A and B are shown apart, each in its own frame.
Chain A
Amino acid sequence: MDPVSQVRKQSLTDTKILARAVRDSFRKLDPRAMVKNPVMFVVEVGALLTTIELISNVMHHAGEVSFGLQITLWLWFTVLFANFAEAMAEGRGKAQADTLRKSRAETEAKRLRKDCTTETVPSSQLRSGDVVVVTAGEFIPGDGEVIEGVASVDESAITGESAPVIRESGGDRSAVTGGTRVLSDEIKVRITSNPGETFLDRMIRLVEGASRQKTPNEIALNILLAGLTIIFLLAVVTLQPFAIYSGAPQSIFVLVSLLVCLIPTTIGGLLSAIGIAGMDRMIQRNVIAMSGRAVEASGDVDVLLLDKTGTITLGNRAATHFFPAQGVEEAHLADAAQLSSFADETPEGRSIVVLAKERYKLRGRDLSSHAATFIPFSAQTRMSGVDMDGREIRKGAPESILQFCCNHGSGASAELQVCIRDIANAGGTPLLVSENGRVLGCIALTDIVKGGMRERFDQLRAMGIRTMMITGDNPLTAAAIAREAGVDDFLAEAKPEDKMALIKREQAKGKLVAMTGDGTNDAPALAQADVGVAMNTGTQAAKEAGNMVDLDSNPTKLIEIVEIGKQLLITRGALTTFSVANDVAKYFAIIPAMFAGVFPVLGALNIMRLRTPESAILSAVIFNAVIIIALVPLALRGVRYRPMGAAALLRRNLLLYGVGGIVAPFIGIKIIDVMLTYLRFV
């Protein structure tokens, strides 16, 4: 296994990542960094206040020391736990970035001069527009476009996929990435990026989280959390005058404890971890999202545009039926078809052999004893076949076989003509088989819809997402495949500009559109779409236009991308709801404890029956800190997501995180209280 995928598979409990995360949680205590997270900044300031109070108490031998010390420690833990969550989320990305940096090591490049001679320069001196020559065994010095030649390239440093890929000039497979290695042949590459801006550089920054910017929804959520923090700050600050009037003034420890428990520390501490983990989940599935905004947008997608070939259907057509001509046994046709295809290594040819085997148990035969001569496919005859035992079997496109048979003095019946037309109309490709100049029958090659697509489309429909198939086929064929795959709609005979128009039309209706693409002519549409996933095998133009790159170049992954986006948003919402709902129990723990000394009757509000006021307050603070750590795995993994309608999803999550958020702290605080009392901490 190559290093990149090793990192990808690393579990969250990897000791190296853990150790680094612990170190980072202390480093992140720097107030200049903390201030970006208003909720945790308030906790840090609170912890600082109690620390000062504690020191002054110790020096003056006055006030509470044991209680104050414990509160202060747990307040610092609260901040550290939140930092730890963020550091853990960043951990895997950082480890991955280290590995990627190694591939970026300085290489030498052979730059082509104007006079067609080459000069050797360090790769860091290459500028956009330079042309370099790369031969087998060398690293490609920078991102670029193949302008001459064909080569097999090992891209495992980026994709984690060890099988080499073909890169050639012209067409949709011309893009090469810096840091990958040419395995065979020689290519000329026009460099398209300046040093520091290469795909590898961007990828390092992305996985590391260095270029991470808050997404729009994260900003809005931060405003909400900051607002709630100010509201609770007001509630706590004004409580002291009320308490003084009532003759029960409170200590700094108690007031800060109440404040920290009320402000939404759970979501405040986990918010950035959730965002980073979302990007990380994309990377684990080999998708590089250029921004968190794109991940967020993928949760909002209303329409998925899916290319038929490769996404909905397998890339190749396969034989599905034999239609014998009048007076011909189907088994005979199958036998002839199979014989003609033994030497045919194309996927279509192989599928004929397989079909014959499945239908008529016709197994591979030892043909060497039959002195068989295989006739390979040629562009002139547009047929292939075999000559053996006096049988002259041919297989090919209907026109060529009919022409061939016509020369032998025979033709096809009207019935067969209808059959050929029907296959074509249903979206298939007809092939004719002949033996000794007589047409035996027809083989139908059809698009094979990938397994499980219908179920996935049903799921998408349940989530309220419309799927649309894009194909160059005629409307009849398209309709047949659309029906079989279960997509909601299709666009037939689509040209690239049609795709663009379709996206604009959907967007004008207020919908968010996601699509995949790889060709240069897909680039404008990829840029226009709200979520544009470019295939890594595609052209540089496509990769730059989209806001995500799929390193596996698997268009079906669009569906997973949508699910990751939704999961990210749900996790964020679930923890926000949980955090806000937690406050109810914390009030009931702390308020009676604050005033029970002066007004014992307020003990009636102590519905959890917590032992002492000190243990009540301490339990609430400990719960508040520990819940952050307890929820780190959930924040990093994301809540479990099942595709279903919004109403059902809301009901389920509200019950789990809303009602659960109200109930959980009652139980948690009580347990901590029992433990504290048992261990005689208070």
Chain B
Amino acid sequence: MSANGWFQIGLFLLVIFLITKPLGVFLARVFSGQRTFLDPVLRPIEKLIYRLTGINEKHEMRWTEYAIAMLLFSGVSMAVLYLIERTQKFFPLNPQKFANLEPGLAFGTAASFTTNTNWQAYSGESTMSYLTQMAGLAYHNFASAAVGIAVAVAVIRGIARKETDKLGNFWVDTTRCLLWVLLPICLVGSLVFVSQGVIQNLRPYTTVELIEPQTVQVTSADGKTTKQTVTQQIIAQGPVASQEVIKEFGTNGGGFFGANSAHPFENPTPFSNFFQVVLIFAIPSALTYTLGRMTGSQRHGWAVWAAMAVLFLAGITTAYWAEARGNPQLVGINQTQSMVQSGGNMEGKEVRFGIANSALFATVTTDASCGAINGQHDSFTPIGGMVPLINIMLGEVVFGGVGAGLYGIVVFVILAVFIAGLMVGRTPEYLGKKIESYDVKMAMLAILILTFTILGFSAFAIIKPFGTSSISNPGPHGLSQVLYAYVSSAGNNGSAFGGLSVNTMWYNTSTAVAQLLGRFFMIIPVLAIAGSLAKKRIVPESVGTFPVTGGLFAGLLVATIVIVGALTFFPALSLGPILEHLLMAAGKAF
């Protein structure tokens, strides 16, 4: 670890801290229907959309109607993406003449992009036409992000409002999110990326002559190996910049290219890398401020932020330490950092990012349910690779996905308040709302679904041949690979550990089901909680009220997330990355 590395990590957290308030205030204004500086341009467009679609923007929905609207919207969007994928060769903007996708992959990808997971069992540059990328995948990057934010806003309203059963209008929230928040910032952001060298075109792929021809061994289908000399290289092209910005800003993570943010056309410079991690955390961090502002308890918003920040710091410290330390088995190889090398475990990392920025990116992308990667998590040291795994296992609440992080942490806040709230001698209350059996039931349901999905699918896959045949490394590392696949799916993260061949019928289908369960069976109970909270009376605050502010509460929240959220996975972790780490220390690698 170096001072320079820590400076960059510190600078990152400082920037996130600084944008939390302004962006949070902006979000609160947008979703409260207050005036913003963008109104003169956007308000007419918004009105036009409502007139064309017949939406009554004054209509407020109960939680059930809100949930049904959300499910309908997601369902139809998912079907459209599936159709585009299955028919892409009949449409223009397909210069490489890519074929239609297989049903399994098409379904898996449709589910994955609808749920904001962006799990990719394919490489974009060799599978998807430009039309599919733009109209199918990029559309979902915006839509799924807007859905997540809309749900989070509905949940905040549920906490803030009293004695009503209305949570707002799903169509209005989604539309305003797209028009005011996502589109303007992405427009500016994509130009920033272009300035760094990210490409933006619709050209066919470029073929170039190699300056230095390469000799490679090729194994043919009948098992014979022959030597071939490669003299040409195909360089993929495409509308990357426009897709890159929403990939991070909407915590989607689905890369234009298979290499994701490790690809120089997606993430060319240290600055573009820094800009990407900031974009990932921007909305999730700001939403904590929005929570505080809309509920009238700004200090609660900051307490939630602080809990998230503590978990983030714990993750980045561990990951950076583990990666910078290098691999103890490489005896006699200089792994120390110097002016000429970054040192540490550089396997699977980009030289232009080095250890600190790779560890930071891996932590950020898994804290938030983004899933973009700028290095291979599979190649991280066991402990370094365990950090992304644990981050997702915590329930994607360390800032978390756009909207998803906030409504996810509300579940843990409710549990923390319920478990410890009694200790002040009153029945538990959260910001004046009594937490009763219905709320606890729904909160437990949300956590149960996540645990069930992750552990159930992993345990099933690990003892079945169709599950284990995709594993590339035996032993505990193989367990980590399978576990990571379902953790990433159920947590709607979408990053891959790598190493696991996931484009099989079993993995395409099972991960898709895990993604759908992890997304919608999380949202439905959470909306139910919001609906129930909105109906309650607000008990006025007094010195006898359970404090949901300050360091004590933040600490309690962290403890609840770790004990309730993560300890469940401790047995599985101990047979995966922990065992692998101890075996590595003992001189055994996988």
Contacts and interface: CB of A to CB of B under 8 A. Distances in A.
A246 B476 contact: yes
B581 to A, nearest CB: 9
Interface stretch (B44-52, B183-191, B297-305, B534-542): B534-542
Contacts of A480: none
B544 A465 contact: yes
A680 interface: no
A581 B564 CA distance: 10
Contacts of B545: 464, 646
B476 A235 contact: no
Contacts of A658: 420, 556, 559
B480 to A, nearest CB: 11
A169 to B, nearest CB: 43
B468 A220 contact: no
Interface in A194-250: 216-217, 219-221, 223-224, 226-228, 230-232, 234-246, 248
Interface centre among B420, B445, B456 (most CB of A within 10 A): B420
Contacts of B479: 242, 245-246
B540 A510 contact: yes
Interface centre among B456, B537, B563 (most CB of A within 10 A): B563
B519 to A, nearest CB: 20
B42 to A, nearest CB: 38
Interface in B370-415: 415
Interface stretch (A309-317, A565-573, A620-628, A668-676): A565-573
Contacts of B171: none
A511 B539 contact: yes
Which applies to chain B's interface (DSSP): helix, strand, loop or mixed?
helix
Interface in B539-584: 539-540, 542-547, 550, 552, 556, 559, 563-564, 567-572, 574-576, 578-579, 582-583
A654 interface: yes
B466 interface: no
Given A216-B437, A601-B585, A654-B556, A231 B568 contact: yes
A595 B575 contact: yes
B540 A604 contact: no
B419 A577 contact: yes
Contact of A235 (B420, B568, B586): B568
Which applies to chain A's interface (DSSP): helix, strand, loop or mixed?
helix
Interface string A570-585: 1011101100110110
Contact of A569 (B425, B444, B456, B475): B425
Contact of A650 (B424, B437, B440): B424
A509 interface: yes
Contacts of A227: 440-441, 444-445, 447-448
Interface in B336-354: none
Interface size range of chain B in the complex: 35 or more
A448 B468 CA distance: 84
A265 B9 CA distance: 43
A595 B574 CA distance: 9
Contacts of B445: 227
Contacts of B564: 228, 231, 580
A234 B425 CA distance: 33
Contacts of A234: 448, 451-452, 455-456, 568
Interface stretch (A73-81, A139-147, A294-302): A294-302
Given A465-B544, A577-B419, A646-B543, A583 B586 contact: no
A580 B570 CA distance: 15
B451 A235 contact: yes
B474 to A, nearest CB: 10
B260 interface: no
A245 B468 contact: yes
A238 B440 contact: no
A382 B419 CA distance: 65
Contacts of B567: 583-584, 587
A647 interface: yes
Contacts, number: 217
Contacts of B476: 246
A398 to B, nearest CB: 45
A591 B468 contact: no
Interface string A583-620: 11001000110010001011011000000000000000
B585 A510 contact: no
Interface in A638-682: 641, 645-647, 649-651, 653-654, 657-658
Interface centre among A228, A300, A647 (most CB of B within 10 A): A647
B459 interface: yes
B568 to A, nearest CB: 5
B463 A241 contact: yes
Contact of A239 (B436, B572, B585): B572
A646 B583 contact: no
B437 A576 contact: no
A294 to B, nearest CB: 13
B459 A463 contact: no
A462 interface: yes
Contacts of A220: 418, 435-437, 439-440
Interface string A452-479: 0000000001111110000000000000
Interface string B425-447: 11110001001110111001101
List the 10 shortest-distance A-B pairs measured between CB atoms, nearest first: A464-B544, A573-B422, A227-B444, A566-B425, A464-B542, A238-B459, A220-B437, A601-B582, A573-B423, A241-B459
Given A227-B444, A234-B456, A581-B563, 16 more contacts: A220-B439, A227-B448, A231-B448, A231-B451, A234-B568, A238-B459, A241-B462, A242-B462, A461-B543, A464-B545, A566-B425, A569-B426, A584-B563, A641-B425, A654-B556, A658-B556
26 contacts: A220-B436, A220-B439, A223-B444, A227-B441, A231-B448, A237-B459, A239-B459, A239-B571, A241-B459, A241-B462, A242-B458, A242-B571, A246-B475, A246-B476, A246-B579, A248-B575, A302-B540, A463-B425, A566-B426, A569-B422, A570-B424, A580-B419, A584-B563, A601-B582, A602-B578, A654-B420
